[in-house]
Amino acid sequence: MEWAPIDKAPYDCDLEICVIEGREVHALVFPCRLTAKGWRNALTGDLIRVRPTHWRRWAARYPGGKH
């Protein structure tokens, strides 16, 4: 699945997001959800302080799990 601009990210869906650190692009290793209060770790519900640049739907990566 292709990456989409962060300003098009849907709310309350498990997403894979990427951030830029220095000159490198990194995808976060856990699913994230955009909420009214900001980005959250979809597994724990913790607010995460990131400035993502792109997103795509989270693909299942855990055996037997939905995330």
Mean pLDDT for back-to-back runs of 10 residues, the chain (67 residues): 93 95 92 96 96 91 49
**Per-residue pLDDT at 21:** 87
Which of helix, strand or coil describes residue 21? strand
pLDDT of residue 64: 47
| Residue 8 pLDDT | 96
Q: Is the pTM above the cut of 0.85?
A: no
| CA gap 19, 65 in Å, rounded | 25
Pairing of strands 4-5, 15-21: unpaired
Helix (H, G, I), strand (E, B) or coil at 51: coil
The answer to whether residues 48 and 40 touch, using CB atoms and an 8 Å cutoff, is yes
Which pLDDT score is estimated for 60?
Answer: 65
